């Protein structure tokens, strides 16, 4: 129970001391003197005989004791007084003293006050006025005898003395009784005040708490109390037993009625309900928790029910969101890994019941996503993920599940496949196409590529775990081999994430341990047969695995943030070598490959300038090869880097041309010197006229852009001849020479020059 505030109730201190009296004062006083006709003559007479009377009344003490202790009710009160630390002897003496005081005939205020205090004390202690009446009857008896018999009192004064005594005693009784009931009234008033304060507090509370409360009287089936909030919410339509019942959805009403029946059977019930939006300001349904608490008599019959209704819409929304979150990816809104697994398992269950049915699993990883995320900021990264998600969604069927599995990794489940491999290859192609067009970020165009790993039920695994794992491994292999997609193959060297990790550990110290070396491959002028330069190709002498090719470790080095020192080492080594080979007066320009990460690093131009300086070479001794995808990833920034390199006199070659998505209008504006036709276009050139057409158009395009065109991967004379016929400028490939280590290349060079 809340304590009433001081403001409302009477201050505690005041109540205890009786400093402020609520009942009317002054207490009797003149009024009682008047009604009793107590006059100056009376007091004078009593004063005259006071000595005699006091002396005679001394014997009254014993009578008084007997009276008090013979009466068990009074005795109980006295013992209680003693238990509370009071002294009975002193009390009785004080009572006697008061009575004797009356014999003085004084009727001033002090006397009245004393009597009043005694009356109030009697009330507090539970001494009933009737007991006081009894005590005064005995006192009067005693005095009457004294007055009638004591020779010191003059005969003719006896009646008058007796009358004065009666008046004094009546007066005292009247004052005490008045004080007694005034004390009772004061107490009641205090209690009423306290109650009032509590009630107004409760009222304040009920008007302000968000919960709605009402009480139903069962017998009359009426609402006996409804909190202000309930009234406001139900707009006064307090229909028993559930106000606003009409706002409960029809389908839910049965539930409420069942609950009510349980309450009538004396059970507490809670339930959650949706109330329809009608009359609601924001026109949305709201959720409530309703609780019913039955109040029964001793025989278990419910007399009334207290009901509480609480708006839990926010909690409900949060809960729904949480549920969603546990199956939904927050950034893209796609399914998350858990839901994806679930869908995969369900698809497998269906496929197991349908012989011949397949399920394909694809794991797709965005290449260089981390780089975008780091350089553009996480928000842009998130936006990029959403754009990717939308594009992927467009190429999939409704029955397929697309999920974001983690950072830049997406998962796809393709259920109900018949000719699985063909179908999944088609989807992979569409996915790659969908991601080919540049993405936009703040009016910039960004190009992305991906690596996809595929596993198919039942050939690549029986359960969801195995299939997901295998698709993951295939994805890693695709990434390492720089191919857009790969199916899982059990007998290939596993390229799982764990192996990848182990590999990364070893890569860390490779530079210090001098495990890297460069091999060189020459570029030959098709028309004149002259050597025009060499491409430096990085190799890693792995302590266990032997010579490891760059496609296997460049991406890892990029992810580990190790690419910058590697690039610096390649630049230094290649330029020093070029200087040696150029010593005879014939320049031997060297081409160095620069990965996406390196290309986007702001320190690249400085590193190249420093390397040239260290080697003491002009910019024209160096060509930088960047792939189409690297360049297109951030055209504006890329263009600035190319301009700076061009100012140094360094040439630029676009590597693997034709495999990415180039914006031709952009290419025109860039200071590019060379286009390198990707080897994939040469492979089938002998048999496939379409490839010939592609190569021809690349050559034409290159010439239109004022670039020289290099074909790489030329493995035989037929292709070399074809390229020459098509007007290609330079060739590079095993047909001329494999990439060779220093000494090997030096030997080849001197032979060739001769
Ligand atoms: P790329 O720049 O396109 O290099 C050409 C690749 O084709 C080389 O593979 C080369 O050995 C190979 N090749 C040359 N002629 C033939 C041929 O007649 N037939 C066939 N089948 N292949 C031929 P490699 O050395 O394995 O390098 C692969 C890729 O690794 C390079 O592709 C380049 O992108 C990257 N790379 C190489 N060295 C470095 C480097 O120092 N730094 C960076 N960042 N990347 C490098
Ligand atoms: Mg290259
Ligand atoms: Mg290439």
What does the pLDDT look like over 597-622, one tens digit per residue? 889 888 999 999 999 999 999 999 99
What rounded mean pLDDT belongs to the chain? Answer: 87
Once rounded to an integer, what is the mean pLDDT over residues 73-95? 89
Name the more confident of 282 and 438.
Answer: 438
Our answer on whether the CB atom of 713 is closer than 6 Å to any ligand 1 atom is yes
What confidence tier does 21 reach under pLDDT thresholds 50, 70, 90?
very low
| Short-list 305, 307, 306, CA closest to 288 | 307
Our answer on whether the CB atom of 550 is closer than 6 Å to any ligand 1 atom is yes
Please name which ligand lies nearest the alpha carbon of 518. Answer: 1
Q: What is the pLDDT of residue 15?
A: 43
Our answer on whether the CB atom of 733 is closer than 6 Å to any ligand 1 atom is yes
Helical H segments across 209-247, by residue range:
228-233
Residue with the nearest Cα to atom 15 of ligand 1? Answer: 733
Enter the tokens of residue 80: 């209680």
Superfamily of domain 212-311: PAS domain (3.30.450.20)
Once rounded to an integer, what is the mean pLDDT over residues 505-532? 92
3-class SS at 156?
Answer: helix
Helical H segments across 547-587, by residue range:
550-559, 563-581
The CA distances from residue 108 to 48, 140, 169, 172, 245, in Å, are 17, 21, 15, 12, 72
What value, to the nearest 5°, has the Cα angle with vertex 417 and ends 415 and 420?
A: 120
C-alpha to C-alpha distance for 615 and 583, rounded to whole angstroms: 13
Q: What is the pLDDT of residue 688?
A: 78
Q: How far is the CA of 54 from the centre of ligand 1 (A)?
A: 135
Our answer on whether the CB atom of 537 is closer than 6 Å to any ligand 1 atom is yes
CATH number assigned to the domain with residue range 322-493, chosen from the 4 options 3.30.70.270, 3.50.50.60, 3.40.50.10710, 3.40.50.2300: 3.30.70.270
Residue with the nearest Cα to atom 23 of ligand 1? Answer: 713
Q: What are the tens digits of pLDDT across the range 492-511?
A: 444 555 556 667 778 888 99
The answer to whether the Cα torsion of 665, 668, 672, 675 is positive or negative is positive
Our answer on whether the CB atom of 625 is closer than 6 Å to any ligand 1 atom is yes
Please name which ligand lies nearest the alpha carbon of 556. Answer: 1
| Residues sharing a CB contact under 8 Å with residue 558, sequence separation 6 or more, in sequence order | 368, 371, 595, 596, 597
Our answer on whether the CB atom of 522 is closer than 6 Å to any ligand 1 atom is no
End-to-end, the C-alpha distance of the chain in Å comes to 111
Q: How far is the CA of 552 from the centre of ligand 3 (A)?
A: 15
Once rounded to an integer, what is the mean pLDDT over residues 379-393? 94
Query: Which secondary structure element, helix H or strand E, spans residue 323, and what is its range?
Result: helix 313-325
Atom number of ligand 1 nearest to Cα 551? 30
Once rounded to an integer, what is the mean pLDDT over residues 423-434? 92
pLDDT at 660 over 70: no
Name the more confident of 508 and 702.
Answer: 702
Our answer on whether the CB atom of 521 is closer than 6 Å to any ligand 1 atom is yes
Our answer on whether the CB atom of 568 is closer than 6 Å to any ligand 1 atom is no
Q: What is the pLDDT of residue 2?
A: 39
CB atoms within 10 A of CB 264: 15
Our answer on whether the CB atom of 564 is closer than 6 Å to any ligand 1 atom is no
Q: What is the pLDDT of residue 667?
A: 81
219-249 core/surface letters (b: 16 or more CB in 10 A; e: else): eeeebeebbebbbebbeeeeebbbbbeebbe
What confidence tier does 95 reach under pLDDT thresholds 50, 70, 90?
confident
Q: How far is the CA of 397 from the centre of ligand 1 (A)?
A: 38
Q: Which stretches of 367-515 are assigned E, i.e. beta strand?
A: 401-406, 409-417, 439-441, 444-446, 450-457, 485-487
Q: What is the pLDDT of residue 324?
A: 67
Neighbours of ion ligand 3 (CB under 5 A): 655-656
Enter the tokens of residue 654: 């676009």
Q: How far is the CA of 627 from the centre of ligand 2 (A)?
A: 8
| Short-list 375, 439, 382, CA closest to 407 | 382
Our answer on whether the CB atom of 739 is closer than 6 Å to any ligand 1 atom is yes
pLDDT at 188 over 60: yes
Q: How far is the CA of 502 from the centre of ligand 1 (A)?
A: 24
Our answer on whether the CB atom of 551 is closer than 6 Å to any ligand 1 atom is yes
Our answer on whether the CB atom of 677 is closer than 6 Å to any ligand 1 atom is no
Once rounded to an integer, what is the mean pLDDT over residues 86-92? 88
3-class SS at 265?
Answer: coil
Residue with the nearest Cα to atom 34 of ligand 1? Answer: 593
3-class SS at 506?
Answer: helix
C-alpha to C-alpha distance for 267 and 261, rounded to whole angstroms: 9
The CA distances from residue 267 to 242, 292, 536, in Å, are 17, 8, 85
Q: Is CATH 1.10.490.10 the right assignment for the domain spanning 12-200? A: yes
Enter the tokens of residue 604: 């690249």
439 and 448 in contact (C-beta within 8 Å)?
Answer: yes
Please name which ligand lies nearest the alpha carbon of 677. Answer: 3
DSSP labels for 616-636?
T--GGGEEEEEEHHHHHHTHH
Q: What is the pLDDT of residue 280?
A: 52
Q: What are the tens digits of pLDDT across the range 128-174?
A: 899 999 999 999 999 999 999 999 999 999 999 999 999 999 999 99
Enter the tokens of residue 595: 């990965």
What confidence tier does 179 reach under pLDDT thresholds 50, 70, 90?
very high
Q: How far is the CA of 728 from the centre of ligand 3 (A)?
A: 16
Q: How far is the CA of 678 from the centre of ligand 3 (A)?
A: 6
Q: How far is the CA of 537 from the centre of ligand 1 (A)?
A: 6
Q: Which mutation among 539, 552, 591, 593 tests ligand 1's pocket best, with the greatest number of atoms within 8 A of CB?
A: 593
Q: What is the 3-state secondary structure (H, E, C) of 668-688?
A: HHCCCCEEEECCHHHHCCCCC
Please name which ligand lies nearest the alpha carbon of 566. Answer: 1
**Domain residue limits, the chain:** 12-200, 212-311, 322-493, 504-751
What confidence tier does 4 reach under pLDDT thresholds 50, 70, 90?
very low
Atom number of ligand 1 nearest to Cα 563? 44
Q: Which mutation among 518, 533, 537 tests ligand 1's pocket best, with the greatest number of atoms within 8 A of CB?
A: 537
3-class SS at 412?
Answer: strand
| CB burial of residue 378 (10 Å; 0-12, 13-18, 19+) | exposed
**Fold held by 504-751:** TIM Barrel (3.20.20)
Our answer on whether the CB atom of 570 is closer than 6 Å to any ligand 1 atom is yes
- The percentage of the chain sitting over the pLDDT mark of 90, rounded to a whole number, equals 51
Fold match, 12-200 / 322-493: no
Q: What is the pLDDT of residue 381?
A: 92
pLDDT at 690 over 90: no
pLDDT at 14 over 50: no
Q: What is the pLDDT of residue 279?
A: 56
């Amino acid at each position: 129970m809340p304590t009433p505030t001081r403001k409302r109730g009477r201050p505690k201190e005041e109540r205890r001391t009786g400093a402020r009296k609520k009942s009317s004062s002054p207490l009797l006083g003149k009024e009682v003197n008047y009604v009793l006709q107590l006059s100056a003559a009376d007091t004078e007479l009593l004063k005259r005989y006071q000595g005699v009377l006091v002396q005679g009344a001394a014997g009254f003490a014993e009578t008084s004791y007997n009276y008090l202790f013979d009466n068990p009710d009074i005795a109980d009160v006295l013992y209680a007084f003693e238990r509370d630390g009071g002294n009975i002897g002193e009390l009785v003496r004080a009572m006697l003293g008061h009575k004797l005081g009356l014999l003085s005939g004084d009727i001033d205020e002090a006397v009245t006050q004393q009597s009043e205090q005694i009356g109030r004390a009697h009330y507090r202690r539970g001494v009933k006025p009737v007991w006081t009446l009894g005590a005064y009857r005995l006192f009067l008896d005693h005095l009457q005898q004294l007055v009638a018999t004591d020779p010191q009192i003059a005969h003719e004064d006896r009646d008058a003395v007796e009358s004065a005594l009666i008046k004094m005693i009546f007066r005292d009784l009247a004052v005490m009784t008045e004080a007694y009931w005034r004390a009772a009234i004061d107490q009641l008033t205090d209690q009423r005040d306290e109650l009032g304060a509590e009630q107004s507090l409760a009222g304040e509370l009920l008007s302000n708490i968000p919960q709605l409360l009402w009480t139903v009287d069962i017998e009359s089936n009426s609402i006996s109390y409804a909190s202000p909030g309930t009234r406001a919410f139900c707009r006064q339509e307090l229909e028993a037993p559930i106000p606003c019942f009409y706002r409960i959805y029809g389908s839910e009403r049965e539930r409420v009625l069942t609950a009510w029946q349980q309450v009538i059977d004396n059970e507490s019930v809670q339930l959650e309900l949706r109330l329809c939006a009608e009359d609601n300001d924001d026109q949305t349904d709201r959720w409530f928790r309703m609780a019913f608490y039955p109040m029964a008599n001793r025989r278990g019959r419910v007399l009334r029910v207290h009901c509480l209704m609480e708006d839990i819409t926010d909690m409900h929304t949060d809960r729904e969101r949480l549920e969603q979150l546990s199956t939904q990816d927050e950034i893209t809104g796609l399914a998350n890994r858990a839901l994806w697994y679930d869908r995969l398992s369900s698809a497998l269950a269906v496929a197991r019941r349908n012989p011949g049915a397949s399920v394909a699993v694809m794991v797709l990883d965005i290449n260089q996503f981390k780089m975008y995320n780091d350089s553009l900021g996480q928000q842009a990264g998130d936006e990029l993920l959403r754009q990717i998600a939308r594009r992927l969604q467009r190429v999939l069927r409704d029955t397929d599940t697309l999920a974001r599995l983690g950072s830049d990794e997406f998962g796809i489940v393709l259920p109900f496949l018949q000719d699985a491999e063909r179908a999944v290859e088609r989807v992979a192609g569409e996915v790659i196409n969908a991601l080919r067009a540049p993405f936009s970020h703040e009016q910039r165009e960004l190009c992305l590529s991906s690596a996809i790993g595929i596993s198919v039920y039942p050939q690549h695994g029986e359960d969801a775990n195995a299939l997901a794992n295998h698709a993951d491994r295939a994805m890693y292999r695709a990434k390492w081999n720089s191919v857009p997609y790969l199916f899982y193959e059990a007998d290939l060297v596993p390229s799982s994430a764990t192996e990848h990790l182990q590999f990364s550990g070893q890569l860390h110290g490779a530079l210090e341990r001098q495990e890297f070396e460069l091999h060189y491959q020459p570029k030959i002028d098709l028309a004149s047969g002259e050597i025009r330069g060499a491409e430096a190709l990085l190799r890693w002498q792995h302590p266990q695995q032997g010579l490891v090719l760059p496609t296997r470790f460049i991406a890892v080095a990029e992810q580990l943030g190790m690419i910058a020192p590697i690039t610096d080492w390649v630049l230094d080594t290649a330029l020093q070598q070029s200087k040696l080979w150029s010593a005879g007066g014939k320049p031997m320009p060297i081409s160095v490959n620069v990965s996406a990460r390196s290309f986007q690093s702001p320190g690249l131009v400085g590193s190249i300038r420093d390397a040239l300086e260290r080697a003491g070479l002009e910019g024209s001794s160096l060509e930088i090869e960047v792939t189409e995808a690297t360049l297109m990833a951030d055209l504006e920034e890329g263009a600035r880097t190319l301009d700076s390199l061009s100012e140094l006199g360094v040439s630029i070659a676009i590597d693997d041309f034709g495999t990415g998505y180039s914006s031709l209008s952009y290419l025109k504006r860039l200071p590019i010197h060379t286009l390198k036709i990707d080897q994939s276009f040469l492979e089938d050139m002998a048999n496939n006229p379409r490839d010939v057409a592609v190569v021809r158009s690349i050559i034409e395009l290159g010439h239109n852009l004022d670039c020289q065109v290099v074909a790489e991967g030329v493995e035989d004379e037929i292709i070399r001849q074809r390229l020459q016929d098509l007007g290609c400028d330079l060739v590079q490939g095993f047909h001329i020479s494999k990439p060779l280590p220093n000494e090997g290349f030096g030997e080849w060079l001197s032979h060739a020059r001769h």
